[in-house]
Amino acid sequence: MTQTANRSPWTANRRAPLLAEWAEAARAFEALQFGLERVPEEARAAARHDLDAARDRLAAAQDAYADALPRVPLSRCPFSGAPVFLAIDTLGLDGPWWDARNP
């Protein structure tokens, strides 16, 4: 378990709902995105509005996940010796930052 100042500990219980929301938002966005060309012309404006809302939901889910990730000291600056921190999901490889299609 890793944590940094002013952050809750990064635990499986904290991670699970963030990933569930991200996965559901990604599924909804992809379904709307790939279905857009099949929508009749008269309904396209509403479909684009739904797609924009789904994109916003997906972005919010990704931001919530990224903001919750622990910042882990990964290296040191070769000039100053200051630690270099990187946000890493230390609990698994199934999060959005490990998605080969969405690096």
pLDDT at 35: 87
Query: Within its chain, how far is the Cα of 34 from the centroid?
Result: 20
Nearest Cα residue to 15 out of 97, 91, 101, 96: 91
pTM, to two decimals: 0.78
pLDDT at 15: 96
Per-residue pLDDT of the chain (103 residues; tens, 9 = 90+): 444 455 689 999 999 999 999 999 999 999 999 888 888 988 999 999 999 999 999 999 999 999 999 999 999 999 999 999 988 899 988 888 765 565 4
pLDDT at 1: 44
pLDDT at 99: 59
3-state secondary structure of 33: helix
